Amino acid sequence: MNVLIKYATIIDSKSDFHNQTVDILIEKGIITEIALIVKNTKDYKEISLDNLHVSQGWFDSSVSFGEPGYEERETILNGLKTAAHSGFTAVALNANSNPVIASYADISLVKAKAQNHAVSLYPIGALTKNGLGENMAELYDMSQAGAVAFYDYQKPIENPNLMKIALQYASNFDGLILSFPQESRISRSGVMNEHISSTRLGLNGNPTLAEELQIARDLFLLEYTGGKLHIPTISSGKSVELIREAKKKKLDVTCSVAIHNLFFTDEALETFNSNFKVLPPIRTNSDIKDLIEGIKDGTIDMVTSDHNPIDIEHKKVEFDHAKYGTIGLESAFGALQTLFSVKKTVEILTKGKERFGVESTSISIGEKANLSLFNPKETYTFSKKHIISTSKNAIFEGSELKGTVYGVVANNKMILK
């Protein structure tokens, strides 16, 4: 792929051209020239877009595509298309398919389906056999096939000894263990945050205590084992505090937060809109403030869309019976930009790569072109016309967002809207 990108403002603190508006020449997928003006002597395709900005390619540490087994929700191919149009050049795929991704063959299958695409797919293998939380899956075999981490998506590991053994075993090959932060015997049948709103709405509550107890347990186990732990999608201020203290102890722990948990409070459930039924549940303003502070001070290592397509038959039902989850790739950039500067937003969207073994390249001459293309200034109301996913369960539908994405250049390919 040969292309000349014109008049692009580079947002990349690792590049010598950071904050400069330049032309970028890409030949056979490699950046060969960056200058104020690059002449198109070889008549390559030119890209010239309104208020064009480019950054290192973005990474999402938690996406679900459904395939195999739930193709009506999302196929891998359409999921990767959605990611590309949303500015992501790499995604970590959860194992919550049917069957779950829990073997060497399963990892090989999903990797094969994503071959030769602009977006790189990094599979997460199930932590336990069939995702049942009882016996440890074939972690080493999956790592040999290309699994970057191990996680039973949104399923807490109830047995602490199983988590201890997993952390110890995976440390033999530098494996990353993910543990969903929820003590299920506390959360029980809660479908929203346990607070004033849950009482008023007559819905069973899921308290922050359930999250915090599980995190505290896992941090004690981590301190004992010396393993490598990632805690996905935390949602409470106390959780931030616990992880902050663990990092002061030099424990090898990272964490993420879902973008929607930075925006919406439990009061949004007044209309019983099942798009707001997510796990962990959306909490309170106080939690949001603490989560944002955790991002700013580095306690929270990455932000994820936690993209989870759910078909209409399982979402447009009575709130108690609706499945948890929202799509989020398409709205991720515009949502983050309503909270942070463009520089901070890009920093957030490019963090987490090293933790998940994703290659990171700066926008520099001689480097592979791995770029996200966007306009940070355009504002709009997010609606169904902005949705590329097969499923339409978007928590951000109707929200005012800032910043649009043009597409990506990566893996010697270009995908633009």
- Domain limits of the chain? 2-53+364-378+400-416, 57-356
Q: In whole angstroms, what is the distance from residue 54 CA to residue 375 CA?
A: 9
Distances in Å between the alpha carbon of 135 and those of 127, 139, 160, 161?
Answer: 9, 11, 12, 11
CATH class of 57-356: alpha beta
Q: What per-residue confidence (pLDDT) applies to 175?
A: 98
Give pLDDT tens digits for 282-332.
999 999 999 999 999 999 999 999 999 999 999 999 999 999 999 999 999
Q: Class of the 2-53+364-378+400-416 domain?
A: mainly beta
The whole model's pTM is what? 0.97
How confident is the model at residue 240, as a pLDDT?
Answer: 98
Residue 96 banded pLDDT, cuts 50, 70, 90: very high
Which tokens go with 56? 């290192």
Active site residues: 306
DSSP-assigned states of every residue in 205-270: EE-HHHHHHHHHHHHHHHHHH---EEE-----HHHHHHHHHHHHTT--EEEEEEGGGGT--GGGGG
What is the distance between the alpha carbons of residues 366 and 346, in angstroms, rounded to a whole number?
A: 22
Q: How confident is the model at residue 6 (pLDDT cuts 50, 70, 90)?
A: very high
- Tokens coding 354: 């090293």
* Residue-wise pLDDT tens digits, 17-75: 999 999 999 999 999 999 999 999 999 999 999 999 999 999 999 999 999 999 999 99
156, 127 Cβ separation under 8 angstroms:
no
Please tell me if the domain spanning 2-53+364-378+400-416 has the same topology as the one spanning 57-356.
no
DSSP 316-346: SS-GGGSPP-BB-TTTHHHHHTTTS-HHHHH
Q: Mean pLDDT across the stretch 201-208?
A: 96
Percentage of the chain with pLDDT > 90? Answer: 100
Q: Span 245-272, mean pLDDT?
A: 97
Count H helices and E strands in the chain, helices first: 12, 18
Average pLDDT over residues 355-369: 96
What per-residue confidence (pLDDT) applies to 392?
97
Position 257 scores a pLDDT of: 98
Q: What is the pLDDT of residue 81?
A: 98
